[in-house]
Structure 1
């Protein structure tokens, strides 16, 4: 009997942890459902069909009440991410940049990062591996709304 009670409590705690603390359907949720199913099985084996049916009915009722409670108290809205992102990707137009323009890497390009050309920041991709921040770079080509760059070699 004590094992069944412990299994039930552990199952409920794991399910609550899965719902409120751990996002997604993970190990805690699966173990919680398994613990509750095991508790139901042990009640059926130890106390018979009537006690097992009552235990299962009470357990299902508790789980339904938990779901209703979380819906009515808007717990899901507090847990859900609902931030709207209104920003858009900056389109690359041929008028502001052209092949051969030089700029400076603001962040490390590994191989994607941020670079500044004529005071404007752009997301760029390196064609030659990683480029450290602060390195002079040169626009090599535009493809699929992406800017490809390489390190700029100063003329001597």
Structure 2
């Protein structure tokens, strides 16, 4: 019966250890529970089976933890859990391509440095160079850097 209890604790510790490493990020209940299970399994072995049984349990628990980690990393299970999708979408900035330096428009939202302005019926995201601007403030395009439209108060 003692060996069954120790085996159950080691198996629980290994499962919780793998859950901690690969499913739940950070130090969580699973990691703490795994540590408690493995420590109690070794304590129980030393207390009930003696020094020889305790050292054998200690070696088996270390091999079980390391072996399960190596096995799990080599198995296809980790590949099935991992994200393999690449993001290929791009931001639609076709309206911003029509905007030129010197175009005049009106803020449609408050520019808390970044907001939206309307130029010839096209609403685009803009960045203020004059600080905060209220909505419905007339603006003019000062410059365009890497797709960012910089405006100032007209």
Q: TM-score range by the shorter chain?
A: 0.5 to 0.7
* Larger of the two Rg values belongs to structure: 2
Partner of 2:101: 98
Q: 1:11-44, CA deviations, whole angstroms, 9 ceiling, x for partnerless residues? A: 344324324532x333245414522442255136
Partner of 1:102: helix, strand, or coil? strand
In structure 2, distance between residues paired with 1:83 and 1:114: 32
Partner of 1:63: 65
Whether contact under 8 Å (1:10, 1:35) holds in the other structure is no
Post-superposition offset of 1:60: 2.6
Q: 1:110-129, CA deviations, whole angstroms, 9 ceiling, x for partnerless residues? A: 76567675687754346427
Cα 1:77/1:8, change in 2 over 3 Å: same
Pick the structure with more helix per residue: 2
Deviates more, 1:8-17 or 1:67-76: 8-17
TM-score by length of 1: 0.54
Structure 2 residue 27 is the aligned partner of structure 1 residue 26: yes
Cα 1:85/1:5, change in 2 over 3 Å: same
Partner of 1:48: helix, strand, or coil? helix
Instruction: In structure 2, list runs of 5 or more residues that go unmatched.
Output: none
Partner of 1:80: 82
RMSD: 4.6
Cα 1:30/1:72, change in 2 over 3 Å: closer
Post-superposition offset of 1:84: 1.8
Instruction: In structure 1, list runs of 5 or more residues that go unmatched.
Output: none
Partner of 1:38: 39
TM-score by length of 2: 0.55
How many residue pairs match? The answer is 146
Q: 1:81-136, CA deviations, whole angstroms, 9 ceiling, x for partnerless residues? A: 22223456789x9984325442675x9977656767568775434642796xxx78
